[in-house]
Structures are given as structure tokens and as C-alpha cells.
């Protein structure tokens, strides 16, 4: 890590620490904190979820075509979290935590999600339910890591289509919608 990057990281940590321990931070309610959305230069909220438009998308180490390609994504519809904007470039994070820069023309506002990517390979299964109720009938059983399309989220439950099956999942197992976020189709 360069000296500049280390200094920037240290200053960011110090600033964040000051915010977290300020008297105002403790006084804010969750509703107030959620309403204080940061807008990027595009006028859209940061962070936010989007998806890949194409089946071949280069992720670069910097915001421009002259930066080297760090990673190539090969799955259209893959959910990405935009965490920064610069001109027509978006710094994104994938479900595994990898970050890079992608041109906005390769991103879509269509909402998709990956189901519990943090449980991938651990042998668990998740029930896709008929309605937004933990006691509802099971429509399908899905494995962690499956990708689907978000139809809507009410802050606690998301209605999704996964491999041709439509049903409801607890929002807490969906990587592609923030906790408490409402999403409309």
C-alpha cells in the first residue's frame, strides 16, 4: 500500500471514529440515519445495488479504459453494489467483496440478488415460500449462492424469481437489497 493510500485510510478511519463516538451519533434514530442518504455525482444514492447488463464485463483497477483489467465477469444479471462514482465510471463491489471500476453503460438498474452467498458451500438450504410468512408453504428449496430477480422487498421479505419459481425469502438472506430497504418492481 502506498504512503498516500495509508494516510488516506488512516484519515478515513479517524473521521469515521469521530463520527461514531460523537454525541449526535448516539442520538440519531434508525429512521433518521436511513433518511440521510448520500447522493453521488449522478444524483443517485450511494451505495446502491445494480446488476450487470452483459455477459462479459471488465472490472478495472481504476476509473478509465486505460486502467488494466483486474477481473472479467461472465454472468449477465450479476448483482453489484455501487460504492463510488467518478465521471461515467462506477466503483462496484461483488457478493464476494471484490471491488473494481465498471463503466456505467455496462450496468443496469434491474434488481437481482444472490441468496446467502456467505453460506455457499456449507451445505445449507433455504426455503422459498408462497407468501411473506415464515409458516407459509414451501414453493422451492434453494441452495446458497443461487441468483435470482427481485420483484419487490418490503423491508423484511423479498419476493423473488429463482430459476422459474417465484416466492418469498427473508430479506436478511438476500445479497442485493439492504436490510430494511423497500424495493418496488
At 45-57, the pLDDT tens digits run 999 999 999 999 9
Name the pLDDT band for 37 (thresholds 50, 70, 90): confident
pLDDT at 5 over 70: no
**CA 117, CA 174: separation in Å to the nearest integer?**
8
- The pLDDT of residue 123: 83
- The pLDDT of residue 36: 60
Q: Say whether domain 113-183 belongs to CATH 3.40.50.300.
A: no
**CA 159, CA 118: separation in Å to the nearest integer?**
20
Please state the rounded mean pLDDT for residues 35-50: 89
DSSP classification of residue 120: T
- The pLDDT of residue 14: 34
The tens digit of pLDDT for each residue in 69-122 reads 999 999 999 999 999 999 999 999 999 999 999 999 999 999 999 999 999 989
The tens digit of pLDDT for each residue in 133-143 reads 999 999 999 99
- The pLDDT of residue 109: 96
Q: Identify any residues that bridge with 73 across adjacent strands, giving them in sequence order.
A: 57
- The pLDDT of residue 185: 74
pLDDT at 7 over 60: no
- The pLDDT of residue 134: 95
In 10 A of CB 19, how many CB atoms? 10
Q: What angle do CA 167, 151, 108 make, to 5 degrees?
A: 140
Place domain 37-110 in its CATH homologous superfamily.
Answer: SH3 Domains (2.30.30.40)
Mention every residue, 6+ apart, whose C-beta is less than 8 A from residue 97: none
pLDDT at 27 over 80: no
Amino acid at each position: 500500500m502506498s504512503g498516500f493510500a495509508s494516510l488516506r485510510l488512516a484519515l478515513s478511519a479517524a473521521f469515521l471514529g469521530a463520527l461514531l463516538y460523537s454525541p449526535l451519533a448516539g442520538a440519531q434514530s434508525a429512521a433518521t440515519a436511513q433518511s440521510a442518504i448520500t447522493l453521488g455525482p449522478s444524483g443517485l444514492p450511494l451505495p446502491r445495488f445494480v446488476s450487470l447488463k452483459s455477459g462479459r464485463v471488465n472490472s478495472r483497477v481504476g476509473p478509465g479504459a486505460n486502467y488494466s483489467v483486474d477481473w472479467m465477469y461472465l454472468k449477465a444479471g450479476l448483482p453489484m453494489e455501487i460504492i463510488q462514482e467518478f465521471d461515467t465510471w462506477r466503483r462496484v463491489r461483488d457478493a464476494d467483496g471484490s471491488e473494481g471500476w465498471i463503466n456505467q453503460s455496462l450496468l443496469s438498474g434491474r434488481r437481482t440478488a444472490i441468496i446467502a452467498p456467505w453460506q455457499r458451500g456449507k451445505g445449507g438450504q433455504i426455503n422459498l415460500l408462497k407468501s411473506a410468512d415464515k409458516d407459509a408453504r414451501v414453493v422451492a428449496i434453494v441452495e446458497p449462492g443461487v441468483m435470482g430477480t427481485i420483484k419487490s422487498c418490503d423491508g423484511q421479505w423479498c419476493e423473488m424469481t429463482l430459476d422459474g419459481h417465484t416466492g418469498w425469502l427473508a430479506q436478511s438472506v438476500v445479497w442485493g437489497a439492504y436490510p430494511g430497504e423497500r424495493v418496488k418492481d
